[in-house]
Amino acid sequence: MRAAGSVLGCGGVRTTPDGIAEIKRMWISPELRGRGAGRALLNSLEDQARRLGCARVRLDTAAELGEAQAMYAKAGYTEIPAYNDNPYAAHWFEKGLR
């Protein structure tokens, strides 16, 4: 996400060999937080996962990112056991894509 040459948000989608998408490095500029930009970016990343043919999407997040955790829960993600060994992650989530 960019506006007037400034980066306001970013994120990536990668696929696993078993056909599950993983959202990586999602970030929203502090000036846009609480304004729906995070949810819009999450929706865009989920759409990309669908275009890649994935039926499920996963992500992880750090313990101190409570607002992100709440956003994921509100977007339909459920907490799952750890699926990776990311040393910075404390919570792992998954969602079925329709």
85 Cβ neighbours under 8 A, 6+ residues apart:
none
CATH number for 35: 3.40.630.30
Residue 21: which domain range? 2-96
The number of distinct structural domains making up the chain is: 1
Instruction: Give the number of other CB atoms < 10 A from CB of residue 51.
Output: 10
Q: CA 25: distance to chain centroid?
A: 8
pLDDT per residue of the chain (98 residues) written in tens, 0 to 9 = 555 667 789 999 999 999 999 999 999 998 888 889 999 999 999 999 999 999 999 999 999 999 999 999 999 999 999 999 999 999 999 999 98
